[in-house]
Amino acid sequence: MGRMKLSEIAVRLGVELAGEDREISGLAGMEQAGADQLTFLANPKYAHKVKNTAAAAIIAAQALPQLPTLVSQNPYLDFARALELFYRAPDLPEGISPLAAIAANARIGPGARIAPFAVIGENVTLGQNARLHPHAVIYAGASVGDDLLMHSHAVIREHCRVGNRVVLQNHAVVGADGFGFAKRADGSHHKIVQSGIAVVEDDVEIQSLSNIDRATLGETRVERGAKIDSLVQVGHASVVGQDNIICAQVGLAGSSILKKSVLLAGQAGVSGHLTIHDNAVVYAQSGIGHDVEAGHVVSGSPAFDYRDWRRAVTAFPRLGEMVRTLRALEARVQDLERQKENHGGQPSSEAAS
C-alpha cells in the first residue's frame, strides 16, 4: 500500500477530477472513511450521507460541492478499480516448491508459482502463470488454461477442462461426482458412474465451498464470465450461462439451463430440466419449477412475477383478518336470504337497513 494523489488516480482510472487535488492513503465506505481516504457514491438514494462523511474525496457520477470528486460514468466500477491501486493480495513465491507433488508427465507452462503440498496429477496440462496455494489439487487428465488461481483446498477433478483467468476460492470443487443413484428392488441404491466432465470457461470465479458437478454423460458447463458465490451447488449436466451472477446458497438441480446474464439471488432453488432465459432475475429464496422467460423478474415459491408476488406478500399477513371478514359477510348474506324467504321474497326493513 502507498499514498497517491487524486490527480494520479484520475489518470489511472480515466476519469475527471473536479476540485482540490489531495493525497489519498486508501479507500473506505462513506461512514468509515477517514480524512485521507477516498469513498464513493454509486446509488443516489445514499446522497444524503455525503454531508456526514469524513472522507477526503469521493467517486461519483457528477461533481459534488462538498468534496473533491472523481467524476465517473460508473462510480461502483471505478471504486473497484481504485481499490486495485492500493491493495494487492500477497503473491506466492516464484517457482515450484520441491514439496509440491507433481506427476512427471504433467505439462506446466512458464511462470508457475506452486506452493508446498499442492498436487498435480498424471497427464495434467497447466497453462502459463498458474498460482496454486498449499493443498490445491488437480486430478489426472485435467486441462487448464493460463493464469489459473487456486486457493488452498480447491480441487479440479479428473479430465475436467478449465479456461483462462479462472479463480477458484478455498474448497471450491470443479467436477465432483453428480448425485446419481439407481434404486434396486430391495430399496437400496446403486451408484451411477459419473463418466462426464465439468467445463469452466474463461474469466469465471467460483467462491468458497461451491461445487460444479461432473455430468453422468456429456458435460456440465460454466460459461465465460460467470461469477458463482459461496455454498452454491450446480447439478450435473447443468449450464451456467455467460456473465451469470449466482449468489450464495443457490442450488441448481441436474440439467438446469441458465442463459446469458441471469441473476439468481441467495438461496434460490431451481428444480432442474428447465431453462431460465437471458437477463432473467430470480429473487432470494425463490423456487423455480418452470421456465422463466427472457428479462422476467420472478419471486416466491413457486416463483411468479415479482409485482404480483409483492402484492401477495403484502396481503399475506392480513389473510386471517380477511377470512374473518369474508365469513362475517357470508353470514350476513345468508341472514338476508333467510329474511327474504320469511317475508315473501322481500327482506324486512330492519334487515335491509
Residues 151 and 270 in one domain: yes
Residues 33 and 74 in one domain: yes
349 pLDDT band (50/70/90 cuts)? low
Overall size of the chain counted in residues: 353
CA distance 114 to 178: 29
53 pLDDT band (50/70/90 cuts)? very high
SS3 category, 37: strand
SS3 content of the chain, % helix, strand, coil (to 5): 20, 25, 55
Residues 181 and 253 in one domain: yes
Query: What is the torsional sign of CA 298, 303, 306, 308?
Result: positive
Residues 21 and 166 in one domain: no
- Provide the pairing of β-strand 155-156 with 173-176: parallel
Cβ(178)–Cβ(214) under 8 Å?
Answer: yes
CA distance 65 to 15: 17
* Host domain of residue 334: 318-352
316 pLDDT band (50/70/90 cuts)? confident
The pLDDT tens digits for 72-87 are 999 999 999 999 999 8
With pLDDT > 90 as the criterion, what percentage of the chain qualifies?
Answer: 91
* Mean per-residue pLDDT, 302-315: 93
Side chain identity at residue 98, one-letter code: P
Instruction: Pull the grid cell for residue 232.
Output: 452454491
3-state SS record for 287-325: EECCCECCCCEEECCCCEEHHHHHHHHHHHHHHHHHHHH
Structural domain total, the chain: 3
Q: Among 86, 112, 143, which residue terminates a domain?
A: 86
* Mean per-residue pLDDT, 10-39: 96
Residues 100 and 82 in one domain: no
- H-helix segments, the chain: 6-13, 75-86, 306-315, 319-342, 349-352
Considering 133, 171, 236, 277, which one is annotated as catalytic? 236
Q: Which of 26-30, 52-56, 343-347 has the lowest mean pLDDT?
A: 343-347
Domain assignment present for residue 313? The answer is: no
CA distance 111 to 119: 17
Confidence at residue 233, expressed as pLDDT on a 0 to 100 scale: 98
Residues 250 and 347 in one domain: no
The pLDDT tens digits for 105-139 are 999 999 999 999 999 999 999 999 999 999 999 99
Residues 283 and 168 in one domain: yes
- Provide the pairing of β-strand 181-183 with 189-191: antiparallel
236 noted as active-site residue: yes
Answering whether pTM is above 0.85, one says yes
Q: Which of 33-42, 133-142, 314-323, 343-352 has the lowest mean pLDDT?
A: 343-352
| Residue where the block lists cell 449466482 | 246
